[in-house]
A and B are shown apart, each in its own frame.
Chain A
Amino acid sequence: MAEQILFIIFGILAVGSAICVIAFKNPIHSALALVLTFFSLAGLFISLGAYFVAAVQVIVYAGAIMVLFLFVIMLLNLGSLQAARQINKAKVFAVIVGIILAAEAIYIGIKVYDGTAVSPSQGGSEAVGAAITTEQLNQIATLESTYQLDRAEINSTYVPKIAEQKNTVETLTASEANQLIEKLQGEMGKPDRIGTVLFTKFLLPFEVTSLILLAALIGVIVLVKREDPDTAA
């Protein structure tokens, strides 16, 4: 229920402020509307259980990137520039393309849910009290290897929370196993789980992104450096 309320509030806010970004004439107003969009997207991430991503969204996007935007707008004094506004063929073309694109993307969104492209992990209709299935055991094993969890840790901390007086995964019933899988999946938004995956499975991409940042850093310095008349020759 709480997720629905969060989704509706932040969804409307996100779309509304995104429209404001492209509708406002003054770039500073657009930038401030974009900050609101980033905040509402952070709210949507929270409603999805991705708490750490939500925090990073606020810090990196709403903080660092938007400060950069506002800094450049004010540095260039663009607020006073009145661009000639023309309603031309390009604008009509843009609206047509936008409508087609939106229809297509929404169609795909509905199709993914209908079809088999994404299948939720719910086991379906087992009899009540049926024993844990091999499929569920495999799923738990996958989660263990992804998050570097120990079977002993699961047995001692997670299993007793779901079913009292049980302390091994194998003794759970199928419906309890579903609860356990859901609980383990729910943990993935937490910083320690994110960190575990980031520094094991995605270690190489993580290191490569540092090179991207270094390249960007050098590139920016080279781009905006003023030619010094003494050393240019």
Chain B
Amino acid sequence: MALQYYLILSALLFTIGVIGVLIRRNAIIIFMCIELMLNAANLAFVAIGRELGDASGQIFVFFVMTVAAAEVAIGLAIIVSVFRHRETINIDEINSMKG
């Protein structure tokens, strides 16, 4: 299977993630879409790594996963504490930092 098919699939998944971030107002769904984008990048890493015969692509996937895990933990903690104060996670209503 040629590299380009994997890259196109990765591009599609990334775009779906971007559209999700733009159209959804629920903070948790936006988080899921960010995970989707990270996974699309992982797919591109592994596909290009195989094409070049280099294991570094797969190593970087591990680092991306670690950062994603840390990011999810922090992000969900922020969502929980925002929900405690505001009783909502609709990002249109959480706008006190808008200035």
Contact = CB atoms under 8 A, between A and B. Distances in A.
Interface of A: 3-4, 7, 11, 14-15, 18-19, 21-22, 27, 30-31, 34, 37-38, 41, 44-45, 47-50, 52-53, 56-57, 60-61, 64-65, 68-69, 72-73, 75-76, 78, 81, 83-84, 90-91, 93-95, 97-98, 101-102, 105-106, 108-110, 112-113, 118, 120-121, 139, 143, 146-147, 181, 185, 188-189, 193-194, 197-198, 201-202, 205, 209, 212-213, 215-217, 219-220, 223-224
Interface string B52-93: 111110110111011111111110111111010000111000
A212 B81 contact: no
Contact of B68 (A3, A65, A91): A65
A109 B59 contact: no
B66 A209 contact: yes
Interface residues of B, number: 71
Interface string B10-46: 1111111111101111101101110110010011001
Contact of A120 (B7, B46, B51, B88): B51
A53 B80 contact: no
Given A18-B17, A76-B89, A83-B90, A215 B9 contact: no
Q: Is the interface of A mostly helix, strand, loop or mixed?
A: helix
Contact of A76 (B12, B17, B80): B80
B58 A194 contact: yes
A109 B25 contact: no
B26 to A, nearest CB: 6
B59 A198 contact: yes
Contacts of A76: 79-80, 83, 89
A223 B15 contact: no
A90 B72 CA distance: 26
A50 B1 contact: no
Nearest to A193: B55
B16 to A, nearest CB: 4
A139 B73 CA distance: 42
B2 interface: yes
Contacts of A139: 53
B76 A68 contact: yes
A143 B14 CA distance: 32
Contact of A78 (B20, B28, B50, B73): B28
B69 A64 contact: yes
